[in-house]
């Protein structure tokens, strides 16, 4: 009986030690999970920023002839319903899958230090690297030229700073052959059903070509989108210096 009691005490001690070890392990896991929650958004933003910058570097080596070929690429998608908010998993898995054969230009807004690539069409992968055209046949400097981009809380990522654009700010887009310059004339917060804003009729109302810059969602919970609208002002031959010039 004494031996049995001794064994029971040993088992009890071992069980107690196991419980302590498990509690410590759980505490460590909770700490790691907390650290991950804190830093994951920052990691996501850094991945997207790198993707954006790398894509602009790719575009820098593209001649106008390559862009003209890309403008006819039939792989482009124009189904806006497939676009999703930026997610951590999507960022980490898709950032390296950007299709350079859909690169057709560059968008620069000096007042908010925005410099990103323009893709033909919209999909979740390419929107991690720049803005996308929303209509198959849209032309720079003609009609209504709408571009969609992701809104983020980080103002240094994609369209995160679009809301800081002021009326009168310069907006430039280029196909590496010509720079098309616009000036912002309005900023709008609209429901996601207001698709008429990307139609050419809006340009006809203004009496001149316009550009429509749209966040995929300003608030996905309410379905609102943010627009910056710009009037076409002038066009001139492409140079990197002219494209990036301060207003």
Residue numbers annotated as active site: 150, 216
Residues in a beta bridge with 92: none
Q: Kind and range of the H or E element at 235?
A: strand 224-237
Q: Which of 168, 153, 68 is nearest to 110 (CA)?
A: 168
* Burial tier of 56 (Cβ tally within 10 Å: 0-12, 13-18, 19+): middle
Per the CB < 8 A criterion, the answer to whether 58 and 116 are in contact is: no
Half-sphere exposure of 188 (CA within 13 A, CB side): 18
Per the CB < 8 A criterion, the answer to whether 75 and 105 are in contact is: no
DSSP-H helix ranges across the chain: 2-60, 64-70, 88-94, 201-206, 240-244
CA distance 151 to 218: 6
The three-state (H, E, C) secondary structure of 119-164, written as one string:
ECCCCCCHHHCEEEECCCCCCCCCCEEEEEECCCCCCCCHHHHHHH
Half-sphere exposure of 111 (CA within 13 A, CB side): 16
Per the CB < 8 A criterion, the answer to whether 68 and 132 are in contact is: no
């Amino acid at each position: 009986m004494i031996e049995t009691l001794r064994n029971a005490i040993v088992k009890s001690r071992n069980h107690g030690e196991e419980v302590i070890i498990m509690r410590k392990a759980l505490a460590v896991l909770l700490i790691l999970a907390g650290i991950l929650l804190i830093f994951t958004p920052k990691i996501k933003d850094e991945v997207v920023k790198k993707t954006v910058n790398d894509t602009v570097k790719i575009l820098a080596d593209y001649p106008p002839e390559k862009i003209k070929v890309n403008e006819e690429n039939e792989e482009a998608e124009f189904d806006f319903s497939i676009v999703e908010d930026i997610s951590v998993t999507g960022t980490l898995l898709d950032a390296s899958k950007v299709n350079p054969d859909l690169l057709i230009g560059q968008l620069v807004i000096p007042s908010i230090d925005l410099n990103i690539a323009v893709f033909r069409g919209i999909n979740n992968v390419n929107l991690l690297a720049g803005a996308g055209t929303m209509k198959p046949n849209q032309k720079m400097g003609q009609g209504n030229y709408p571009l969609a981009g992701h809104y983020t809380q980080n103002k240094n990522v994609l369209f995160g700073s679009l809301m800081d654009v002021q009326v009168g700010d310069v907006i430039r887009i280029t196909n590496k052959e010509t720079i098309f310059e616009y000036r912002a004339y309005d900023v709008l917060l609209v429901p996601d059903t207001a698709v008429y804003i990307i139609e050419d009729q809006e340009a006809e109302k203004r009496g001149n070509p316009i550009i429509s810059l749209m966040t995929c969602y300003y608030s996905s919970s309410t379905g609102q989108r943010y627009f910056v609208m710009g009037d076409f002002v002038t066009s001139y031959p492409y140079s990197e210096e002219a494209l990036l010039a301060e207003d």
